[in-house]
Amino acid sequence: MPLRVTNFSWTQTDSMVCITVPLKGIRVGNVDIISTDEYLKVHYPPNLFEAFLFEPVDDARSTVQFGNGAAVICLPKRTNKVWEHLMISPRGKCAQKSEKKHVHLPDPRPTGIIQVSFTSRVFPTALRESRMPEEEEWLNREAEARRAVKADIEDLKDLTEVERYTDCFKDKGDKCYAAGDYLGAVNSYSLAIRLNRKIPALYSNRAVCHLKLRNFHKAIDDSSQALDLLTPPVDNNAAARVKAHVRRGSALCHLQLYAEGLQDYQKALQIDRYNEALQADTQRIRNIIQNTAATQKMDQT
């Protein structure tokens, strides 16, 4: 059981908050710090300090200094204002979000009996047109992934059950991405992945952040990992597969690997054949390949 650090101190200005965490004689090499725009964790076994911050900070510009037996973490605020508190309760935050999901539920319908003679299925396709074994396999894998929280990771094993809720970190990543904070989004998705490595959306979302940050090789790796998890290919994961193929194809094209990128766009188009924007992008890549080949041929003559 970790020992929660309570004798920390913090100071603030309108634009900066600094947190001093005593290390109690622990060597700097044994101190592990995990931070995002909304979360900070300092772990030096058996001691643990963590905080869900009162307001978002700019994690990309944060600094850490070690000295006088303490770690001093300085976090630039995203909004210049004085905080009422350093942190909020993670349990309260997630519980609040859960309440919002259920507050508008309609009253239950009166009970009754409905006679149904059709085969019970989750997927909307007609039974004779379906690929039932593949669909059942996908549903089972998706359900298993939601249960597969990685509780044995050293850095994360001290999280509470609420903090292990992967969607909390995924939601933070989504908010960071929407705000244009792509590095913060990468950090949040990475934390979610460390909790659960079997959810393809986490890799696909992180891939598009890497695209924005021009980390094209990382975008290719994450898109490929998402596609590996999106198996077997069924209607229920078709949209996710299209996104992953397009993101990998885009990264390949940015690396001027147009032929390889075209293959991904063509695979996406096979899934979503009536997507006009996708058709236009695919044709644009074909034109680049053809023009490049023509230019090379002229140079050789």
* Average pLDDT of span 139-146: 59
Higher pLDDT, 81 or 131: 81
Ranked by mean pLDDT, the top range of 104-108, 153-157, 184-188 is: 184-188
Predicted confidence (pLDDT) at residue 119 exceeds the cutoff of 80: no
| Ordered structural domains, the chain, with CATH | 3-81 (2.60.40.790), 130-148+198-300 (1.25.40.10)
Q: Look at residue 293 in the predicted model and tell me its pLDDT.
A: 77
| Pairing mode, strands 32-35 and 3-4 | unpaired
Predicted confidence (pLDDT) at residue 99 exceeds the cutoff of 70: no
Q: Look at residue 120 in the predicted model and tell me its pLDDT.
A: 42
What does the pLDDT look like over 191-243, one tens digit per residue? 888 888 888 999 999 999 999 999 999 999 999 999 999 988 888 889 999 99
* Average pLDDT of span 177-187: 90
Q: Look at residue 109 in the predicted model and tell me its pLDDT.
A: 52
Predicted confidence (pLDDT) at residue 272 exceeds the cutoff of 90: yes
pLDDT band at 122 (very low <50, low <70, confident <90, very high): very low
Task: Let me know: does 95 contact 168? Beta carbons within 8 Å.
Answer: no
Q: Look at residue 117 in the predicted model and tell me its pLDDT.
A: 43
* pLDDT above 70 coverage of the chain, percent: 72
Q: Look at residue 128 in the predicted model and tell me its pLDDT.
A: 42
Q: Look at residue 137 in the predicted model and tell me its pLDDT.
A: 64
List CB contacts of 84: < 8 A, sequence separation 6 or more.
54
pLDDT band at 167 (very low <50, low <70, confident <90, very high): confident
With b for 16 or more beta-carbon neighbours within 10 A and e for fewer, the 261-291 pattern comes to: bbbbbebbbebbeeeeebeebbeebeeeeee
Distances (CA, A) of 124 to 49, 121, 128, 129, 235: 48, 8, 12, 10, 9
Q: Whole-number mean pLDDT of the chain? A: 79
Higher pLDDT, 68 or 161: 68
* Average pLDDT of span 179-195: 88
Q: What pTM, to 2 d.p., does this model score?
A: 0.52
What does the pLDDT look like over 18-31, one tens digit per residue? 999 998 888 877 88
Q: Look at residue 226 in the predicted model and tell me its pLDDT.
A: 95
How crowded is residue 149: how many other Cβ atoms within 10 Å of its Cβ? 18
Identify the weakest region by mean pLDDT among 52-61, 146-155, 250-259, 282-291: 146-155
What does the pLDDT look like over 249-269, one tens digit per residue? 999 999 999 999 999 999 999
* Average pLDDT of span 170-186: 89
* Average pLDDT of span 41-48: 87
**CA-to-CA distance for 6 and 69, rounded, in angstroms?**
16
Q: Look at residue 260 in the predicted model and tell me its pLDDT.
A: 94
